[in-house]
Amino acid sequence: MDNNRVIIFDTTLRDGEQSPGASMNLEEKVKIALLLEEMGVDVIEAGFPIASTGDFEAVQAVAKVVKNSTIAGLARATKGDIERCAEAVKLAPRHRIHTFISTSPLHMKHKLQMEPERVLEKVRESVAFARNLVEDVEWSAEDGSRTEHDFLCRCVEAAIDAGARTINIPDTVGYAVPDEYAALIAMLVNRVPNMDKAILSVHCHNDLGLAVANSLAAIATGARQIECTINGLGERAGNAAMEEIVMALRTRHDLMPFTTGIKTENITRASRLVSAITGFVVQPNKAIVGKNAFAHESGIHQDGMLKCAQTYEIMTPESVGLNRSSLVMGKHSGRAAFKDKLKQMGYDLGDNAIEDAFARFKDVADRKKEVFDEDIIALVDEAVFRDNERIRFRGLEVLCGTRHNPPKAELELEIDGELKSVKSVGDGPVDAIFNAIKALCPHEARLQLYQVHAVTQGTDAQAEVTVRLEEDGKTVNGQGADTDTMVASARAYVKALNKLLTKRQKSAPDAVTP
Ligand SMILES: CC(=O)SCCNC(=O)CCNC(=O)[C@H](O)C(C)(C)COP(=O)(O)OP(=O)(O)OC[C@H]1O[C@@H](n2cnc3c(N)ncnc32)[C@H](O)[C@@H]1OP(=O)(O)O
Ligand SMILES: CC(C)C(=O)C(=O)O
Ligand SMILES: [Mg+2]
């Protein structure tokens, strides 16, 4: 194998499943394994066969269907674990036993309660036993990053002598920092005499948020297998995230000239599948696969993106299997993104209408977390229509509730360029508003329909109000949108009235008083 090729060992189905609450059933494990195989994962650790009958059967099931990736199973340094593991993984054309034992003073003394020399013997025995059952054996020094160097070197040498092809040095508790971990790998390369007979592997946990950084640092000094999981799932704070490692290597090939066999276009699919199956939601700002990883909300960034995507994206969304980046419309968006959005939505507006719609958009965005396409449609339609209005809504204050009976409305309208205001009461706040409109613009039209619905979701949704008026057999509808339902109601009524005036003007050009 090319010396710069890094083997990707995915342990989503084993260490990933060790996340509290992330258990997966047999069918789910098979589904994930098939996708990992499709995306080019070299080794899939499918489970810990001795753990339970379910785990054993799941490893068997994965081993039966996966043809191209090597299927590994985990086993402690005991004959029982190793035999059970072999029985399960051997169903796969390419299979591996991954056996481990702790080598740090703390683990040996308190957890295993074994003397170091006994642990060393166990290393020899377990690897040799596994090698009698299968060709491909990986040995891990659990808590390797907190192990004394001399002892670690002796264990690694013994494991290789006993037949291990891969030597894994886990940072089991996520304690290492990049320089230190890289130096540990370099130390093994330099000091273990038979190190060239095995592949050095790293397995980093994320307790200090350094799992990916440590893994990458270790490749620079000699590691050629990285153990990782989709979405960084795993025990406690998780394992190194595969998508981050693979994309870091791909994106910064200039600094890290290493390759993997991963078809990165499958990354988003894999992330979503694992998230859906485990119920572990991916945080929005998660690198590579978070909802916001390719989303831009601020105007300056959106403007940059529209001019040249590389201004704010260091990899393409397509490279991880996303259709495109998204320019999210919100309070930080600017005119460039707004115009682009309008164009995408099929609007062809003049500069004035765009400015007017943009001002309204900023107003809505100030009150809402995210402005959806439907919000924009509602406010643009409103802005376009307003160009022809004779009556313009200018302001509204409503007093209602148990302390204000009857409800009162104070309304300001601009009628043919003149600002007018009035106070009115009504049976309810909407009735008070409509009475105020009638007081400023006397008319005989009858209200036929008043309807409210939320255009978007949430309590901060835009309300869209429809008002239908009828006069002399002519019917008009007016719609108003606003996050304030009362304001939307006033706008809807005024809009209907404007339409009525237009109709009146068409049928009797001389009788057009509002
Ligand atoms: C760092 C890691 O991720 S290691 C993998 C962790 N994953 C798991 O533990 C998930 C699966 N585990 C299980 O289902 C269970 O723990 C089993 C089936 C493996 C063992 O269950 P039990 O026999 O009830 O043992 P229990 O879990 O209570 O304790 C673990 C025993 O294994 C011993 N042990 C731990 N690691 C090793 C090892 N690598 N080699 C040999 N023995 C070991 C412990 O010293 C302890 O032995 P003791 O019972 O003599 O004190
Ligand atoms: C079993 C080993 C590889 C492990 O998961 C760890 O040390 O974190
Ligand atoms: Mg682990």
Ligand 2: which atom is nearest the Cα of residue 227? 3
The DSSP call for residue 461 is P
| Structure-model confidence comparison of residues 137 and 461, the more confident one | 137
| Token pair 């190793």: residue | 82
Buried/exposed 61-86: b ≥16 CB within 10 Å, e otherwise? bbbeebeebbbbbbbbbbeebbbbbb
- The mean pLDDT of the chain is 94
Indicate the SS3 state at residue 132.
helix
Q: Of the candidates 280, 215, 221, which has an alpha carbon nearest to the alpha carbon of residue 247? A: 215
Residue 353 has pLDDT above 90, yes or no: no
Residue 204 has pLDDT above 80, yes or no: yes
Can you give the pLDDT at residue 487?
96
Q: Of the candidates 277, 281, 203, which has an alpha carbon nearest to the alpha carbon of residue 245? A: 203
Which protein residue's CA is at the shortest distance from atom 25 of ligand 1?
51
| pLDDT band, very low/low/confident/very high, at 509 (cuts 50, 70, 90) | low
Residue 510 has pLDDT above 60, yes or no: no
Residues in the chain: 514
pLDDT digits (tens, 9 = 90+) for 420-439: 999 999 999 999 999 999 99
> In whole angstroms, what separates CA 350 from the centre of its chain?
37
Q: Is the ipTM of this complex over 0.85?
A: yes
Describe the crossing of helices 149-161 and 116-133 by its angle, rounded to 10 degrees: 30
Can you give the pLDDT at residue 347?
86
For 384, what's the count of Cα atoms within 13 Å in the CB-facing half-sphere?
12
Q: Which two tokens stand for residue 454?
A: 């939320």
Q: Which two tokens stand for residue 400?
A: 């209602």
Question: How far apart are the C-alpha atoms of 42 and 10, rounded to whole Å?
Answer: 8
The answer to whether residues 404 and 424 touch, using CB atoms and an 8 Å cutoff, is no
| pLDDT band, very low/low/confident/very high, at 178 (cuts 50, 70, 90) | very high
pTM of the model: 0.81
Can you give the pLDDT at residue 388?
64
Q: What are phi and psi of 474, to 5 degrees?
A: -95, 135
Question: How far apart are the C-alpha atoms of 80 and 140, rounded to whole Å?
Answer: 18
Can you give the pLDDT at residue 267?
98
CATH 3.30.160.270, domain 388-507, yes or no: yes
The DSSP call for residue 78 is S
Residue 314 has pLDDT above 70, yes or no: yes
Around ion ligand 3, which residues have CB less than 5 A away?
A: 15
Q: Which ligand is nearest to the CA of 170?
A: 2
pLDDT digits (tens, 9 = 90+) for 77-110: 999 999 999 999 999 999 999 999 999 999 999 9
Ligand 1: which atom is nearest the Cα of residue 51? 14
Can you give the pLDDT at residue 383?
67
Structural domain spans, the chain? 7-278, 295-384, 388-507
Residue 511 has pLDDT above 60, yes or no: no
Q: What is the mean pLDDT of residues 266-275?
A: 97
pLDDT digits (tens, 9 = 90+) for 116-156: 999 999 999 999 999 999 999 999 999 999 999 999 999 99
Can you give the pLDDT at residue 430?
97
Can you give the pLDDT at residue 319?
98
Q: Which two tokens stand for residue 245?
A: 């490692």
Residue 466 has pLDDT above 70, yes or no: yes
Q: Bridge-partner residues for 450, per DSSP?
A: 467
Can you give the pLDDT at residue 236?
97
∠ CA(119), CA(122), CA(128), 5° rounding?
A: 150
- State whether the beta carbon of 235 lies less than 6 angstroms from ligand 1: yes
Question: How far apart are the C-alpha atoms of 195 and 222, rounded to whole Å?
Answer: 10
Can you give the pLDDT at residue 513?
58
CA 238 to ligand 3 center in whole angstroms: 8
User: Domain 7-278, what fold?
Assistant: TIM Barrel (3.20.20)
- State whether the beta carbon of 81 lies less than 6 angstroms from ligand 1: no
The answer to whether residues 84 and 49 touch, using CB atoms and an 8 Å cutoff, is yes
